[in-house]
Amino acid sequence: MKHDFQALRLDAVTRRFAGAGGKAFNALQELTLTIKRGEFIALLGPSGCGKSTALNCIAGLLPLSGGSIWLDATRIDTLPPEKRGFGMVFQNYALFPHMSVERNVGFGLRMRGAAGSEIARRVGRALKLVQLIGQEHKLPGQLSGGQQQRVAIARAIVIEPPLILMDEPLSNLDAKLRLETRSEIRRIHRELGRSTVYVTHDQDEALSLADRIVVMKDGVVQQIASPQEVYGEPANLAVARFMGYRNVLDMAIEAQNGDRVTLAAGNIRLIGARKQALVGERASVAIRPEEIALGEGPGGENTIAGHVDNVEYCGRDSLIDVMTPSGTRLHVRAPTHIALGESVHVHVPVERALVYADESA
């Protein structure tokens, strides 16, 4: 396998499985994506949305039901995994139970026929990178979950593959180690200048690591965009929900003026920014808890009155539930201390009230 490429192109990659009752369903539906050399792609989505399936298809561990995969001008979706030469960190590690940490990490190099001294040097470096020095001679069964995960990472990066596929590689680490390993992965990626496809259901991980994020739901791609765009301008309500727009209000459309939409529900009136073509009389407004301001004076545009219904202390700030008189619950994140039952006004910036087509439509 040549050890470099300009672009890996996924063309309508589809994978079907026999579902319950023998009915086939698409675990991955027409994923089309071009991964440029050196790019860091995050596959983001809830559990069961087809992330691992996509990764397995790229690695060659699952045959495609449709579509094709191209490495520059070569079609590779018919090649076995060992001919593709992509590194992979498995979701359940898949460490070789009968080999020591050292031999696990060195396996890929041995398969490539590297010299003994070369293997020792590179394995040592990889183990240092994932902070596993001193564990070289243990068997995987003698390691903690987090240590196993780091062996899996080391085993995949040590062969310096042109593309490295990672399936939730940090899921089992504690908060501190997760942050450290995260920056380590980003650094390794930058240093090697290789491409990475990184599967996660953690939006923070995706936002902090990726050059581009692919958001998936039920096997279908929802949005492919930069972290800033996915965070600030979700393509649809599903992405918005997943990206932490916890307030989704179903409202009636009163007026539309350019991309400004005026909506009403009960005694709430909101002006928002349209993100999608609207049909019918209703629309959904998505607002992030941290973009709602608490305690603005009454009367202004986009101001909602209510009382504090619940407060969750989160350290730097608090998660406050505000209940409006008409019974709508708003989640607000604010660095304020506030008592339960207190009357408050909240303000929603027009730009940050995102209006999407009604979910039920």
Partner 1 sequence: MTQAHALARAPFDRTLLLVVPAAAFMLLLFIYPFLYGLGLSFEPKEGGALGNYSHFFTTDNLWPTIWTTLRLALPATLINVGLALPIAYKMRIKTRYQRWITTILVVPITLGTVLIAEGALTYFGPKGWLSQTLQLSHIYDGPIRLTHNYWGVLISLVISGFPFAFLLILSYITGIDPVLARAAATLGADPAAQFRHIYLPLLAPGLAMCFCLAFVQAFSVFPSAVLLGSPAGPTRVISIAAYEAAFEQYDYSLASAIAMIMGFVQLLIVAAVLGLRNLFYRGPVVGGKG
Ligand X SMILES: Nc1ncnc2c1ncn2[C@@H]1O[C@H](COP(=O)(O)OP(=O)(O)OP(=O)(O)O)[C@@H](O)[C@H]1O
129 binds, among Mg ion, partner 1, ligand X, none (CB under 5 to 8 A by kind): none
**CA dist., res. 70 & res. 346, Å (int):** 51
Q: Looking at 15, 27, 35, 52, which residue binds Mg ion (CB under 5 A)?
A: 52
Provide, rounded to whole angstroms, the least separation between the CB of residue 55 and ligand X.
Answer: 8
The SS3 call for residue 191 is helix
By CB under 5 A, the residues from 81 to 100 that bind Mg ion are 91
**Which ranges of 158-250 would DSSP assign to H, the alpha helix?**
175-192, 203-209, 227-232, 237-242
The SS3 call for residue 209 is helix
Q: Are 59 and 86 contacting, i.e. CB atoms less than 8 angstroms apart?
A: yes
If the CB atoms of residues 48 and 280 are measured against ligand X, the closer one turns out to be 48
Provide, rounded to whole angstroms, the least separation between the CB of residue 343 and ligand X.
Answer: 42
Which residues contribute to the site for partner 1 (CB under 8 A)? 59-61, 80-82, 84-88, 90, 92-98, 107-108, 111-112, 139-141, 145, 148, 152, 155-156, 159, 172
By CB under 6 A, the residues from 66 to 125 that bind ligand X are 91
Q: Are 29 and 45 contacting, i.e. CB atoms less than 8 angstroms apart?
A: no
**CA dist., res. 252 & res. 241, Å (int):** 20
Q: Looking at 49, 88, 320, 334, which residue binds ligand X (CB under 6 A)?
A: 49
Burial class, 27, CB count within 10 angstroms (exposed 0-12 / middle 13-18 / buried 19+): buried
Q: Does 48 bind ligand X (CB under 6 A)?
A: yes
Q: Looking at 1, 11, 17, 79, which residue binds ligand X (CB under 6 A)?
A: 17
**CA dist., res. 151 & res. 266, Å (int):** 56
35 binds, among Mg ion, partner 1, ligand X, none (CB under 5 to 8 A by kind): none
**CA dist., res. 72 & res. 195, Å (int):** 14
Q: What does the CA dihedral 165, 166, 167, 171 come to, rounded to 10 degrees?
A: 180
Provide, rounded to whole angstroms, the least separation between the CB of residue 315 and partner 1.
Answer: 30
Q: Does 247 bind Mg ion (CB under 5 A)?
A: no
Provide, rounded to whole angstroms, the least separation between the CB of residue 118 and Mg ion.
Answer: 34
80 binds, among partner 1, Mg ion, ligand X, none (CB under 5 to 8 A by kind): partner 1
Provide, rounded to whole angstroms, the least separation between the CB of residue 89 and partner 1.
Answer: 9
Residues 18-47, mask of contacts with ligand X (x by CB under 6 A)? ---------x-----------------x-x
If the CB atoms of residues 31 and 101 are measured against ligand X, the closer one turns out to be 31
The length of the chain, given as a count of residues? 361
**CA dist., res. 161 & res. 334, Å (int):** 45
What lies within 8 Å, CB to CB, of 172 at 6+ separation is: 145, 146, 148, 149
If the CB atoms of residues 23 and 176 are measured against ligand X, the closer one turns out to be 23
Provide, rounded to whole angstroms, the least separation between the CB of residue 177 and partner 1.
Answer: 16
